[in-house]
Amino acid sequence: MRESILELSDDGGCFGCGKKNPIGLKLDFELRDGEYITEFTPGPEHQGFINITHGGILATLADEAMAKLVWIKGFKALTAEMSIKFKRPAETGKPLTIIGTIEKVEGKLIFCKAEIRKPDGTVVAEATAKMVKV
């Protein structure tokens, strides 16, 4: 049996960065010295506990920073595996900086990492991922 080839395309509807997604995060990234960086201020609609950003939103932010960087570097790849460590609470209403980097490329795998920081530099979450080329 032959494996089908997955076509990846963007119609602006991505939950993380899509400008056409009415409930999306609408993240704008900037490439700086090999790092892919964005800022995001979670609102009350992004909370888990009162005034604390939901961990799923933080995971989405980290995944988006890594996956978008892979994409703009010319790789057609998807997240195959991701691990996240929540270090500190991220309060809603307070800005966060999200930074994605590519660590190495080995065959079909791209190894990435991401950090989410408060304005004072405190790391609230760290993530690693393996992206697989399709």
pLDDT tens digit sequence for 82-103: 999 999 999 999 999 999 999 9
- Cα–Cα dist 46/13, whole Å: 19
- Cα–Cα dist 6/44, whole Å: 36
- Residue 111: which pLDDT band, with cuts at 50, 70 and 90? very high
Structure tokens at 113: 């990492």
Could you tell me if residue 77 is inside a domain? yes
The DSSP line for 80-94 is: EEEEEEE-S--BTTS
Domain span including residue 40: 30-133
Name the pTM for this structure. Answer: 0.89
- Residue 15: which pLDDT band, with cuts at 50, 70 and 90? confident
Could you tell me if residue 16 is inside a domain? no
- Pinpoint the alpha helices (H) of the chain: 55-72
Could you tell me if residue 62 is inside a domain? yes
Q: Helix, strand or coil for residue 105?
A: strand
pLDDT tens digit sequence for 53-83? 999 999 999 999 999 999 999 999 999 999 9
Identify the bridge partners of residue 86 per DSSP, sorted by sequence position. Answer: 125
Could you tell me if residue 106 is inside a domain? yes
Could you tell me if residue 113 is inside a domain? yes
pLDDT of residue 87: 98
Could you tell me if residue 54 is inside a domain? yes
- Cα–Cα dist 58/69, whole Å: 17
